[in-house]
């Protein structure tokens, strides 16, 4: 089957279907994290262990999630999107079952690492699906719709996790993960059409190395991906800090914690809803700078947590502003990062995901070095905001090679109707 045949087959999937499937796939990782966070304090008690060891169960989940993306994306380039998402979700189910019956915290750590590996394919493949079928602002609209759907499930997951912990015990959160993972596999089997021609020649270390080297040496890819890493990576880093700030320092119950996290996920959801109609008047690229300004405002407010009395609103207000800004940054930057690399879209999506998860893992690990998690948040959240803003400044200083922005010095001199400049590389 040729790429043309694949495209004709994949066109049977509507924009809405791709958005729903992509959001479903990408939601696995955040949901497996958000369902678990309300249970962390209970896990400490259940295993008679320490906060540090329980934090490791989250850190190892991040490690599996981030590192396995580097394999999942290229595998989908070589074997196809459909079989890889099904295979990795089967791994996720194995990890969830092991976590459900884990007799010790050490076994739970291993189970969470396996879960992270399985969930990793969702991020890589969902973005690659969009790159396979759409370009430009149309791609950004899909990314935005995926973001709206994606925000809904993690917004509800902490609340659901808190209710499950109180009424069914902390292990019940893994039952919920098993059910969700099964639903994702069934959706892939019944609804997902293949969008790429499998090329097994890409399934070797040398080809994989060339793909990643191409991406790492491309200034456009690195600037756009680091913008995403600083913005979105902060959400993953916060997951290692907020449970202990809100439940242990402020005394919230698991259910109250879940409801409180709506300020983060709900803010991102609201930002995504506002972003969508604005795209009728503005390019997605025009909204990145305002989004980064909101991230900068949230970062500055977070610094004030270093002084004064701690309260729920003082903690969650900067987080909510930061999350609102992410909704304006992610669609265009995700599109821009992948646009020049149609032949290795899976690898490009994987490396972008690895960078944002890796940033979250690194900052989450740094947070463990602080005796006070509030101080960690006050210092590390602004640090990630600075990375996002500085990366975008570098990106803007060097006209990019992918989708055209509404900027005269980028579009001047191009042939009329030209909308992309693929396959070029940064000098």
| pLDDT the model gives residue 89 | 95
Other CB atoms closer than 10 Å to residue 414's CB: what's the count? 11
Q: Which residues of 177-192 are buried (b: 16+ CB within 10 A; e: fewer)?
A: bbebbeebbebbeeeb
Q: Does residue 179 surpass a pLDDT of 90? A: yes
Number of H helices, E strands in the chain: 18, 0
Helix (H, G, I), strand (E, B) or coil at 135: coil
Residue with tokens 């950004």: 140
Determine the longest span between alpha carbons in the chain, in angstroms. 68
Burial of 173 (0-12, 13-18, 19+ CB in 10 A): buried
| pLDDT the model gives residue 149 | 67
Answer yes or no: are the C-beta atoms of 245 and 149 closer than 8 Å.
no
Q: Does residue 4 surpass a pLDDT of 80? A: no
Q: Which residue has the higher pLDDT, 238 or 411?
A: 238
| pLDDT the model gives residue 415 | 32
Answer yes or no: are the C-beta atoms of 331 and 141 closer than 8 Å.
yes
pLDDT, average across residues 104-130: 90
* 182-210 pLDDT, tens digit each: 999 999 998 888 888 887 776 778 878 88
Answer yes or no: are the C-beta atoms of 287 and 332 closer than 8 Å.
yes
Helix (H, G, I), strand (E, B) or coil at 293: helix
CB-side neighbour CA atoms (13 Å) of 13: 24
Residue with tokens 């396959």: 423
| pLDDT the model gives residue 295 | 97
State what percent of residues in the chain have pLDDT above 70: 87
pTM of the predicted structure, to 2 decimals: 0.74
Nearest-CA neighbor of 30 among 378, 360, 377, 363? 360
Q: Does residue 404 surpass a pLDDT of 70? A: no
pLDDT, average across residues 85-89: 94
Per DSSP, the residues of 382-418 read: HHHHHHHHHHHHHHHHS--SSSPPS-HHHHTTPPTT-
| pLDDT the model gives residue 150 | 62
271: its two tokens: 């930002």
* 49-59 pLDDT, tens digit each: 888 888 889 88
54: its two tokens: 């329980």
State what percent of residues in the chain have pLDDT above 90: 33
* 295-311 pLDDT, tens digit each: 999 999 999 999 989 99
Domain architecture of the chain: domains with CATH: 3-400 (1.20.1250.20)
Q: Does residue 116 surpass a pLDDT of 90? A: yes
Burial of 203 (0-12, 13-18, 19+ CB in 10 A): middle
Q: How far apart are CA 236 and CA 233, in angstroms?
A: 5
Q: How far apart are CA 393 and CA 388, in angstroms?
A: 9
Could you tell me the pLDDT band of residue 141, with boundaries at 50, 70 and 90? confident
Average pLDDT, the chain: 83
Q: How far apart are CA 142 and CA 126, in angstroms?
A: 11
- Residue 284 DSSP symbol: G
Q: How far apart are CA 290 and CA 378, in angstroms?
A: 22
Could you tell me the pLDDT band of residue 279, with boundaries at 50, 70 and 90? confident
Q: 423: phi > 0 → left, psi -120 to 50 → alpha, else beta; which?
A: left
* 221-276 pLDDT, tens digit each: 999 999 999 998 888 888 888 988 998 899 988 778 878 888 888 898 899 889 88
Q: Does residue 99 surpass a pLDDT of 90? A: yes
- Tell me which range, 67-71, 101-105, 197-201, 252-256, is most confidently predicted by mean pLDDT: 101-105
| pLDDT the model gives residue 371 | 85
Other CB atoms closer than 10 Å to residue 356's CB: what's the count? 26
Answer yes or no: are the C-beta atoms of 93 and 118 closer than 8 Å.
yes
Answer yes or no: are the C-beta atoms of 194 and 81 closer than 8 Å.
yes
Q: How far apart are CA 127 and CA 195, in angstroms?
A: 12
* 349-358 pLDDT, tens digit each: 888 888 887 8
Q: Helix 205-216 and helix 345-367: axis angle, to 10°?
A: 70
């Amino acid at each position: 089957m040729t790429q043309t045949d694949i495209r004709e087959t994949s066109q049977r999937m509507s924009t809405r279907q791709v958005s729903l499937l992509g959001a479903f796939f990408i939601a696995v990782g955040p949901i497996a994290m958000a369902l678990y966070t309300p249970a962390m304090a209970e896990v400490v008690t259940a295993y008679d262990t320490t906060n540090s060891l329980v934090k490791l169960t989250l850190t190892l989940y991040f490690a599996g999630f981030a590192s396995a993306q580097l394999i999942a994306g290229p595998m989908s380039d070589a074997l196809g999107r459909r079989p890889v998402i099904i295979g990795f979700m089967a791994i996720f189910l194995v990890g969830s079952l092991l976590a459900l019956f884990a007799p010790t915290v050490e076994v739970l750590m291993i189970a969470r690492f396996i879960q992270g590996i399985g969930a990793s394919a969702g991020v890589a493949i969902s973005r690659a699906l969009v790159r396979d079928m759409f370009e430009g602002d149309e791609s950004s609209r899909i990314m935005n719709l995926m973001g709206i759907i994606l925000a809904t499930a993690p917004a509800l997951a902490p609340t659901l996790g808190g209710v499950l912990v109180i009424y069914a015990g902390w292990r019940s959160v893994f039952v919920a993960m098993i059910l969700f993972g099964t639903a994702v596999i069934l959706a892939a089997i019944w609804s997902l059409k293949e969008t790429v021609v499998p090329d097994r020649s890409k399934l070797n270390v040398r080809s994989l190395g060339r793909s990643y080297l191409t991406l790492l040496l491309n200034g456009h890819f690195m600037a756009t991906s680091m913008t995403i890493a600083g913005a979105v990576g902060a959400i993953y880093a916060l997951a290692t800090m907020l449970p202990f700030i809100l439940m242990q320092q402020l005394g919230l119950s698991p259910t109250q914690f879940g409801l409180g996290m709506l300020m983060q996920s709900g803010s991102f959801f609201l930002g995504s809803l506002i972003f969508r109609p604005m795209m009728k008047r503005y390019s997605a690229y025009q909204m990145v700078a305002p989004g980064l300004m909101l991230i900068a405002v949230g970062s500055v407010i977070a610094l004030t947590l270093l002084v004064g009395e701690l309260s729920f609103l003082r903690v969650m207000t900067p987080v909510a502003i930061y999350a609102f800004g992410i909704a304006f940054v992610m669609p265009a930057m995700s599109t821009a990062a992948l646009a020049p690399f149609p032949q290795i879209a899976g690898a490009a999506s994987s490396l972008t995901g690895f960078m944002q998860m890796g940033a979250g893992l690194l900052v989450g690990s740094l947070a463990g070095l602080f005796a006070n998690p509030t101080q960690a948040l006050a210092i590390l959240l602004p640090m990630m905001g600075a990375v996002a803003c500085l990366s975008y400044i570098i990106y803007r200083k060097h006209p990019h090679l992918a989708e055209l922005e509404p900027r005269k010095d980028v579009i001047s001199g191009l042939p009329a109707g030209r909308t992309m400049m693929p396959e070029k590389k940064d000098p």
